[in-house]
Chains A and B, each alone.
Chain A
Amino acid sequence: AQRVTQPEKLLSVFKGAPVELKCNYSYSGSPELFWYVQYSRQRLQLLLRHISRESIKGFTADLNKGETSFHLKKPFAQEEDSAMYYCALSLTTDSWGKLQFGAGTQVVVTP
């Protein structure tokens, strides 16, 4: 069965420092990977997805099929980046687009 692993429950970084959130997946096929973010008292929202290969709010993520990883990176963290981040996987064979979420990583950016 497919699985999404986010090894860090909490990541505390200083403002201006680089931040990297790890995400590994296990799936024998070709998944679609996403990062979702949940700011305090707000709903879950899409941050970025691997097929777009775009940078959102300074964040980027590269799908590494060899390492089965989809780490999220930002070179200079800002205080407004403090939030809960979820890595999610969707199977290309699933026509409904069901998502499987990792456990999430809480990011705290301190000034």
Chain B
Amino acid sequence: GAVVSQHPSWVICKSGTSVKIECRSLDFQATTMFWYRQFPKQSLMLMATSNEGSKATYEQGVEKDKFLINHASLTLSTLTVTSAHPEDSSFYICSARDSFRWNTDTQYFGPGTRLTVL
């Protein structure tokens, strides 16, 4: 149980276009999901906290107009990279917390999405 999926697993796009990445909790409900960014051979950097039915909370230095997050249901959060540029190329990972296991801090991670902007 506790599986998180991401779609697509990789995407290549042209500079200036927008890309949407989906994060789904497959067998549990997730009030809270997180979006991370990982550069090659570096650690995960938290970008934002996505809360179902409310606005996302962005970490310092992350442009909210650049990285649009929508958490429309208890099983789906989306990250849209708007007007993507080559510097946005990275590995984007989402995680989700089980809403019914609030007393635990376990985050279940998705497999990640490789974004390459040409």
Report the minimum CB–CB distance from B90 to chain A (whole Å).
Answer: 15
Contact-residue bracket for chain A: 10 to 19
Report the minimum CB–CB distance from B97 to chain A (whole Å).
Answer: 6
A34 touches B93 (CB 8 A): no
State which of B11-19, B63-71, B105-113 sits at the interface with chain A: B105-113
B109 touches A34 (CB 8 A): no
In residues 54-88 of chain A, which contact B (Cβ within 8 Å)? 86
| Chain B positions within 8 Å of A43 at CB level | 4, 93, 109-112
A103 touches B109 (CB 8 A): no
Contact of B105 among A44, A86, A90, A103 (CB under 8 A): A90
B26 at the interface (CB under 8 A from A): no
A101 touches B105 (CB 8 A): no
Contact of B43 among A42, A45, A86, A97 (CB under 8 A): A86
Report the minimum CB–CB distance from B32 to chain A (whole Å).
Answer: 6
- Count chain B residues whose beta carbon lies closer than 8 angstroms to a beta carbon of A: 21
Chain B interface mostly: strand
Report the minimum CB–CB distance from B100 to chain A (whole Å).
Answer: 14
Contact of A45 among B32, B42, B97, B109 (CB under 8 A): B109
B46 touches A99 (CB 8 A): yes
Cα of A13 to Cα of B109 in the assembled complex, Å: 28
| Chain A positions within 8 Å of B111 at CB level | 42-43
| Chain A positions within 8 Å of B106 at CB level | 46, 49
Contact A102-B107, Cβ < 8 Å, known A43-B112, A44-B93, A96-B49: no
A103 touches B43 (CB 8 A): yes
A-B contact pairs, 12 of them (CB 8 A): A43-B111, A43-B112, A46-B106, A49-B105, A49-B106, A86-B44, A96-B49, A96-B57, A97-B97, A97-B107, A99-B34, A102-B43
Chain B residues with CB under 8 Å of chain A are: 4, 32, 34, 42-46, 49, 51, 57, 93, 95, 97, 105-107, 109-112
